[in-house]
A and B are shown apart, each in its own frame.
Chain A
């Protein structure tokens, strides 16, 4: 390489040479890093890295799953497989035994054995921890260390969904946790180590060299939080981000046409509904009024228009066919405004029925559009739904505080893909059920009290039928998971909202 500039001294030339060499090295370095790095764009913030405080699958739990191990995990094929657990089995109706992989150690040398699992479980259960997901593990009464590689979970009643629920139970290092704040820091046995976490901006991960499981394809992973859909799409188009979620359905076709990009959607396990507060007038007493709401809305037409057909209409139940406990006998309420009017008349509703419709923003795809169309269709049968849009956090507070309006647009899912968890959202003992039905509660309890698959299905049939008739929801349709990625990567699309770097591989 020759420099044509005439340097005034040799030292100047040397300096230039060094600078040039350094910049070449830098380019080479970033090129090699690029080959093994992956950037994922998320639509909302990761709020906590503490497994006990994590509730949202797409952000908190997904990130935690890169950092920590769980006993079992769900693969992109929706099947459960062992992570820390080598095998598991029901010993009797109320006991589950898990055999652990031996010799797993945290980076600081602590052993991840049965005692550590028990410590984690006790931590979640302890009132001092104030674990936000304590409720998930309520059916588990106690936990017993048999040997360093075997642990037993003991429940009051048979709890067949236990292994699935444990796929959301991530394991901290006991000693490390005593001196560190697991909400902001992390040290786990997962495939990645935490490099940095900037709240509301990004999380940077680096692959572990000595991970016990299958090594993920990318060494460097960055999760970028980009709340604005347009900005998220632009980041993918500019190749700053390799894979992004929650893009507007209307843009899927456009992105697909773009050079080097792919976009699509997959039916998700999240069911969109208008949750009805059945404890609040005027939608509290007569189920007929709530049924009328269900008849008044043209679910198919709305799903086709707003979600571009990338969605399946609910079969009059919260449970979609992906879940255990789906009831194939139920059919969606047909779109029949006349029937709706008749039902309202029979229920003694004269004139306009005024109801509130709360719409949390920034959480569900096209929430505002959905609410406006539904509101318009309801108005045609004489129901005046007054829309209140609010920020998701503010709405969630209202909802958790028992102060839900007459109706609210929400999407409901349960990551274990088992009706047990999903339907328990409507169990009257749940403070946010806004629904009281003794027969429904009884069916859930009975389903929980047996491990016999057919007996459980029978009870879920009863429970879903009650819910369909009592209509504590205006059942809508599934929310699609939309995504776009560069053609440089392949993503094993999954509809259960887990975002894992290990599901992404470089395209061949």
Chain B
């Protein structure tokens, strides 16, 4: 018991050491941590109300400078709301939706991938045809269609985004299962007539998790963009709540008179997606023994 804990700890140690050695990976991790912390701590940061605006302080340019933050560091929007505060609160919404969707899609996709790869035969064929079908449908159009008919609500959004993402996991996990299935330890588990579910969860799953985690990071970036896109089209979060895509859309009409309305949310989206991608790339390299050294 204590021995395995020591092993886990040293693995974690090696992981972190490797992360710190990798400059892009570290940068990604740091930026993402800042965004996540800001989102989690938003209520205690003493920010102005993100929803309540001051009509007399509309479209005020950013006040941030070398001498300090000023009243509205990133300016105010067309209703006099503080943009920094809206970006941070919007980040809560965006990141929460992205995390929930990625997890929902991930769990579903991994399970499907495990079943498909492990049992093979007609189960595999049917499930993989479903995956092919799903892949043949343009995902943005599918999301638009579902949201337009069900109405834009948080749970619908999560469901739709999860739906567009599970196939990636299913395919990667299935391939990995096929590779693992013929290994000796699986054969011996079968030989002692272990229950298939036990084999799947105890012996197969731990060995297919690393590629799934890599897919997860890449999907996270894609989902943040898709959510921003849906919000931009007015099918995401309903006003007055902030979401980055929505802020971008609202700021669009003011591009020529007040650039800060859409530029800062755009930067937030870009930084988040970039950091998640950097982290994902590093994770893939880290877990892939062929690329080491």
A residues in contact (CB < 8 Å) with B? 229-230, 233, 248, 250-251, 254, 301-302, 304-306, 361, 368-369, 371-373, 375-376, 386-389, 391, 394
Contact between B234 and A361 (Cβ–Cβ < 8 Å)? yes
Q: Which residues of A contact B152 (CB under 8 A)?
A: 389
Contact between B55 and A250 (Cβ–Cβ < 8 Å)? no
Which residue of the partner chain A has the closest CB to B51?
A: A376
B residues in contact (CB < 8 Å) with A? 51-53, 55, 58-59, 78-80, 148, 151-152, 234, 238-240, 250, 252-258
Which residue of the partner chain A has the closest CB to B254?
A: A250
Q: Which residues of B contact A371 (CB under 8 A)?
A: 239
Q: Which residues of A contact B151 (CB under 8 A)?
A: 388
Contact between B257 and A375 (Cβ–Cβ < 8 Å)? no
Q: Could you list 12 further interchain pairs (A-B, Cβ under 8 angstroms) beyond the known A373-B53, A376-B52, A387-B239?
A: A229-B253, A230-B255, A251-B256, A302-B55, A306-B78, A369-B78, A373-B79, A375-B239, A375-B240, A376-B51, A386-B238, A389-B239
Q: Which residues of B contact A250 (CB under 8 A)?
A: 59, 78, 253-254, 257-258
Contact between B256 and A372 (Cβ–Cβ < 8 Å)? no
Tell me the bound Cα distance from A229 to B252 in angstroms: 10
Contact between B253 and A248 (Cβ–Cβ < 8 Å)? yes
Contacts A/B (CB < 8 Å), 21 sampled: A230-B252, A250-B59, A250-B78, A250-B257, A251-B256, A302-B55, A361-B234, A369-B250, A372-B79, A375-B240, A376-B52, A376-B240, A386-B238, A387-B238, A387-B240, A388-B151, A388-B238, A389-B152, A389-B238, A391-B148, A394-B148
Q: Which residues of A contact B52 (CB under 8 A)?
A: 376
Q: Which residues of A contact B257 (CB under 8 A)?
A: 250-251, 254
Q: Which residues of A contact B59 (CB under 8 A)?
A: 250
Which residue of the partner chain A has the closest CB to B246?
A: A368
Tell me the bound Cα distance from A233 to B58 in angstroms: 22
Q: Which of A229, A248, A368, A391 contacts B239 (CB 8 A)?
A: A368
Known: A250-B59, A305-B55. A389 touches B79 (CB 8 A): no
Tell me the bound Cα distance from A305 to B57 in angstroms: 10
* A320 → B minimal CB distance (Å): 23
Q: Which residues of B contact A301 (CB under 8 A)?
A: 55
Which residue of the partner chain B has the closest CB to A368?
A: B239
Known: A250-B257, A361-B234, A389-B234. A372 touches B239 (CB 8 A): yes
Q: Which residues of B contact A372 (CB under 8 A)?
A: 79, 239-240
Q: Which residues of B contact A302 (CB under 8 A)?
A: 55
Q: Which residues of B contact A387 (CB under 8 A)?
A: 238-240
Tell me the bound Cα distance from A418 to B239 in angstroms: 36
* A114 → B minimal CB distance (Å): 49
* A337 → B minimal CB distance (Å): 14
Q: Which residues of A contact B55 (CB under 8 A)?
A: 301-302, 304-305, 373
Q: Which residues of A contact B254 (CB under 8 A)?
A: 248, 250
* B260 → A minimal CB distance (Å): 14
Tell me the bound Cα distance from A251 to B58 in angstroms: 14
List 7 A-B pairs, minimum CB-CB distance, nearest first: A305-B55, A372-B240, A248-B253, A372-B239, A387-B239, A387-B238, A389-B234
* B234 → A minimal CB distance (Å): 5
Tell me the bound Cα distance from A369 to B78 in angstroms: 8
Q: Which residues of A contact B240 (CB under 8 A)?
A: 372, 375-376, 387
Known: A369-B78, A373-B55. A230 touches B256 (CB 8 A): yes
Known: A230-B252, A305-B55, A376-B53. A369 touches B79 (CB 8 A): yes
Which residue of the partner chain A has the closest CB to B80?
A: A305
Q: Which residues of A contact B258 (CB under 8 A)?
A: 250
* B49 → A minimal CB distance (Å): 9
Tell me the bound Cα distance from A389 to B59 in angstroms: 23
Tell me the bound Cα distance from A396 to B52 in angstroms: 30
Tell me the bound Cα distance from A233 to B253 in angstroms: 10
* B240 → A minimal CB distance (Å): 4
Q: Which residues of A contact B239 (CB under 8 A)?
A: 368, 371-372, 375, 387, 389
* A391 → B minimal CB distance (Å): 8
* A267 → B minimal CB distance (Å): 21
Q: Which residues of B contact A389 (CB under 8 A)?
A: 152, 234, 238-239
* B216 → A minimal CB distance (Å): 32
Q: Which of B148, B250, B255 contacts A368 (CB 8 A)?
A: B250
* A86 → B minimal CB distance (Å): 47
* A480 → B minimal CB distance (Å): 15
Contact between B79 and A230 (Cβ–Cβ < 8 Å)? no
Tell me the bound Cα distance from A254 to B234 in angstroms: 27
Tell me the bound Cα distance from A394 to B149 in angstroms: 10
Tell me the bound Cα distance from A341 to B148 in angstroms: 36
Which residue of the partner chain A has the closest CB to B240?
A: A372
* A429 → B minimal CB distance (Å): 32
Tell me the bound Cα distance from A27 to B246 in angstroms: 46
Q: Which residues of A contact B256 (CB under 8 A)?
A: 230, 233, 251, 254
Most buried by A among B52, B148, B239: B239
* A335 → B minimal CB distance (Å): 12
Tell me the bound Cα distance from A394 to B254 in angstroms: 26
Which residue of the partner chain B has the closest CB to A250?
A: B257
Tell me the bound Cα distance from A372 to B250 in angstroms: 12
Q: Which residues of B contact A304 (CB under 8 A)?
A: 55
Q: Which residues of A contact B250 (CB under 8 A)?
A: 368-369
Which residue of the partner chain B has the closest CB to A247?
A: B253
Tell me the bound Cα distance from A373 to B78 in angstroms: 10
Most buried by A among B79, B151, B250, B258: B79
* A244 → B minimal CB distance (Å): 14
Which residue of the partner chain A has the closest CB to B249?
A: A368
Q: Which residues of B contact A369 (CB under 8 A)?
A: 78-79, 250
Tell me the bound Cα distance from A374 to B78 in angstroms: 14
* A410 → B minimal CB distance (Å): 17
Q: Which residues of A contact B78 (CB under 8 A)?
A: 250, 306, 369
Tell me the bound Cα distance from A302 to B151 in angstroms: 28
Tell me the bound Cα distance from A391 to B238 in angstroms: 13
Tell me the bound Cα distance from A244 to B257 in angstroms: 19
Q: Which residues of A contact B238 (CB under 8 A)?
A: 386-389
Q: Which residues of A contact B79 (CB under 8 A)?
A: 305, 369, 372-373
Q: Which residues of A contact B234 (CB under 8 A)?
A: 361, 389, 391
* B105 → A minimal CB distance (Å): 26
Q: Which residues of B contact A373 (CB under 8 A)?
A: 53, 55, 79
* A169 → B minimal CB distance (Å): 37
* B116 → A minimal CB distance (Å): 39
* B154 → A minimal CB distance (Å): 13
Tell me the bound Cα distance from A482 to B253 in angstroms: 15
* A307 → B minimal CB distance (Å): 12
Tell me the bound Cα distance from A248 to B58 in angstroms: 15
Which residue of the partner chain A has the closest CB to B241?
A: A387
Which residue of the partner chain A has the closest CB to B255?
A: A230
